[in-house]
Amino acid sequence: MSFSFLSHLECSRTGETYDADRVQGVSEAGAPLLARYDLDRVRAGVSREEIAGRANTLWRYHELLPVRDSAKVTTLGEGMTPMLPLPSYGAAMGVPGLLMKDEGLIPTGTFKARGAAVGVSRARELGVTAVAMPTNGNAGAAWSVYAARAGLGSLVVMPVDAPGITRRECVVSGAELYLVDGLINHAGALVRAAVEERPGCQDVSTLKEPYRIEGKKTMGYEIAEQLGWQVPDVILYPAGGGVGLIGIHKAMQEMRELGWIGAAMPRLVAVQAAGCPPIVDAFEAGHDESTLVKGTHTLAFGLNVPKALGDFLVLRGVRESGGTAIAVTDEEILAAVRDLATAEGVWICPEGAACMAAARRLRESGWIDEHEQVVVLNTGTGLKYPETVNVDVPVLPRDGRVPA
Ligand X SMILES: *Cc1c(COP(=O)(O)O)cnc(C)c1O
Which helix (H) or strand (E) is 131 found in, with range? strand 130-134
Q: Residue 106 has what DSSP assignment?
A: S
Q: Which residue is nearest to ligand X (CB)?
A: 302
Encoded amino acid at 303, one letter:
L
Reduced to 3 states (helix: H, G, I; strand: E, B; else coil), residue 201 is: strand
Q: Residue 104 has what DSSP assignment?
A: G
Q: Is residue 244 close enough to count as binding ligand X by CB under 6 A?
A: yes
* Residue of 117, 234, 349, 362 that binds ligand X (CB under 6 A): 349
- Show contacts with ligand X in window 306-345 (CB under 6 A): none
| 6 bridge partner residues | 37
Residue 73 vs 239, nearer CB to ligand X: 239
* Residue of 138, 173, 218, 321 that binds ligand X (CB under 6 A): 138
C-alpha–C-alpha distance, residues 165 and 365, integer Å: 37
Sheet containing strand 374-378, edge to edge, reads 83-85, 98-102, 374-378, 234-238, 267-273, 324-328
Encoded amino acid at 267, one letter:
R
* Residue of 210, 238, 278, 317 that binds ligand X (CB under 6 A): 238
Question: CA angle, 301 as apex, 298 and 307 as ends, to 5°?
Answer: 80
> Which residue stretches of 126-242 are H helix?
138-150, 164-172, 184-196, 212-226
First to last CA, the chain: 69
Q: Is residue 159 close enough to count as binding ligand X by CB under 6 A?
A: no
Distances in whole angstroms, Cα of residue 247 to Cα of each of 89, 207, 241, 318: 28, 11, 11, 12
Q: Is residue 304 close enough to count as binding ligand X by CB under 6 A?
A: no
Residue 37 vs 385, nearer CB to ligand X: 385
Q: Is residue 351 close enough to count as binding ligand X by CB under 6 A?
A: yes
Residue 63 vs 102, nearer CB to ligand X: 102
Residue 64 vs 213, nearer CB to ligand X: 213
Q: Residue 266 has what DSSP assignment?
A: P
* Residue of 75, 272, 304, 379 that binds ligand X (CB under 6 A): 379
Q: Is residue 163 close enough to count as binding ligand X by CB under 6 A?
A: no
Residue 33 vs 42, nearer CB to ligand X: 33
Residue 223 vs 239, nearer CB to ligand X: 239
Least distance in Å: CB of 356 to ligand X? 13
Least distance in Å: CB of 107 to ligand X? 13
HEC states along 296-308? CCCCCHHHCCCCC
Least distance in Å: CB of 120 to ligand X? 16
User: Total number of residues binding ligand X (CB under 6 A)?
Assistant: 17
- Show contacts with ligand X in window 95-134 (CB under 6 A): 110, 112
Question: CA angle, 90 as apex, 86 and 96 as ends, to 5°?
Answer: 95
Residue 42 vs 274, nearer CB to ligand X: 274
C-alpha–C-alpha distance, residues 159 and 139, integer Å: 13
* Residue of 42, 58, 67, 243 that binds ligand X (CB under 6 A): 243
Q: Which stretch binds ligand X (CB under 6 A): 22-30, 82-90, 171-179, 237-245?
A: 237-245
Least distance in Å: CB of 139 to ligand X? 6
The contact set with ligand X (CB under 6 A) reads 110, 112, 138-139, 206, 238-244, 302, 349, 351, 379-380
